[in-house]
Amino acid sequence: MIGEVLIKVENLSKSFGSIKALDGVDAEIRKGDVAVIIGPSGSGKSTFLRCLNLLEVPTGGKIFFEGTDITDPRVDINKHRQKMGMVFQQFKLFPHMTVLDNMILSPIKVLKQPREQAVRKAVELLERVGLADRMNAYPSQLSGGQKQRIAIVRALCMEPDVMLFDEPTSALDPEMVGEVLDVMRKLAGSGMTMVVVTHEMGFAREVGTRIIFMDEGKIVEEKSPSELFSNPSSDRLKAFLAKVL
C-alpha cells in the first residue's frame, strides 16, 4: 500500500566545484514506495541518495522528511538520520567490533535502549537473515554477502521509516548477489519504504513500485516498472536500457 508522502525533494541541486552532480531534482517518496533509481555512472544517483540524509549538504533546494525541512541548518539532523537507514556499496561495517556490537551500538547510544532490548532485537533480525550463528564474528571473518546482510540489519536495528540503498550488490561476487537481493525483497514485502540505487534490472522490475531514471544530475523519466521497461520515452533512457538489459 502506497501511503502519505515521506520524503519530498524540491529543486535539489548539488555542485562539487564546477561539477553539477545534481541539477534541479524534484521527487516524492511515499510510504511503502520501493523507488528504484537507475542511470549511467556519474549521473548523480549516489549524490541524490546521500543528500537525502545530508551526508552531502545540498547546494540548493529543499528536502522535507516527514514534514520537516531537513536542509534548515537549525534542524537536528541526527534525529532524522535515526529514521533513515542507509546501506552502502562498501558495507562499511565497523571492523573493530563484532557483528552484534556493530548492530547494538547506535540503538544503545542514540536511542538509549537498554542493552538487553537492543540485543534481543539484533538477534531477532540476525535470525531473519540467517546469520544468528555469526553474531560474535568480526566483519573480516565474513563473506561479502554476509557483510552486506549485516549492514542491512544493522540499519534496521534503528527501526527506520525509510531505507536508502546505494548499489548494495555492486561490490559483491556474482554468486552473493542473490542472498542480498533476497533480504531486500523480503524487506520490501514487509512494507518498508525503500529508495534503491541499483543496476539489477530484474530486481527493479520485480520489486520496484517506481523507477526513476537519472542522467546528468536530472531525473529524466519516472514511471512504473512495466511502463518504463516496455515503453521508454526518452532517447537517453533507450540508450541506457540497450546497454544494461
Partner 1 sequence: MAEWINDFRVKFINNFITDNRWKYLLNGLGITLEVTFFSALIGIFIGFIIAIIRSTHDKTGKMKLPDALCKLYVTVIRGTPVVVQLLIIYFVVFASVNVNKVIAAIIAFGINSGAYVAEIVRSGIMSIDTGQMEAGRSLGLNFFQTMYYIILPQAFKNVLPALANEFIVLLKETSISGYIALQDLAKGGDIIRGRTYDAFMPLIAVALIYLFMVVLLSKGVEIMERRLRSSDR
Interface positions with ligand ADP (CB under 6 A): 16, 19, 21, 39, 41-47
Rank residues 11 and 90 by Cβ distance to partner 1 and give the closer one.
Answer: 90
Q: Which residues contact residue 207 at a Cβ distance below 8 angstroms, ignoring those fewer than 6 apart? A: 34, 36, 184, 185, 188
Contact with partner 1 (CB under 8 A): which of 74, 96, 112, 243?
Answer: 96
Looking only at the bridges linking them, the beta strands covering 210-215 and 218-223 are antiparallel
Per the listing, cell 510510504 goes with 31
DSSP E strands: which ranges in the chain? 5-16, 19-30, 34-38, 60-65, 68-69, 84-87, 162-166, 193-197, 210-215, 218-223
Q: Which three cell numbers stand for residue 5?
A: 508522502
Q: Is 93 in the site for partner 1 (CB under 8 A)?
A: yes
Contact with partner 1 (CB under 8 A): which of 65, 88, 165, 240?
Answer: 88
Rank residues 108 and 201 by Cβ distance to partner 1 and give the closer one.
Answer: 108
Query: Nearest distance from residue 15's CB to Mg ion, in Å?
Result: 17
Rank residues 59 and 82 by Cβ distance to partner 1 and give the closer one.
Answer: 82
Instruction: From the list Mg ion, partner 1, ligand ADP, none, pick the one residue 190 interacts with, judged by a Cβ distance below 5 to 8 Å according to partner type.
Output: none
Q: DSSP class of residue 82? A: T
Q: Which three cell numbers stand for residue 170?
A: 555492486
Q: Is 90 in the site for partner 1 (CB under 8 A)?
A: yes
Candidates 47, 54, 60; CA nearest to 82 is: 54
Looking at 26-34, 37-45, 76-84, 233-241, which segment touches partner 1 (CB under 8 A)? Answer: 76-84
d(CA 19, CA 25): 15
d(CA 27, CA 8): 6
Looking at 11-19, 102-110, 123-131, 204-212, which segment touches partner 1 (CB under 8 A)? Answer: 102-110
Contact with partner 1 (CB under 8 A): which of 6, 84, 195, 214?
Answer: 84
Residues near partner 1, by CB under 8 A? 53, 55, 78-79, 81-82, 84-86, 88, 90, 92-96, 105-106, 109-111, 138, 140-141, 154-155, 158
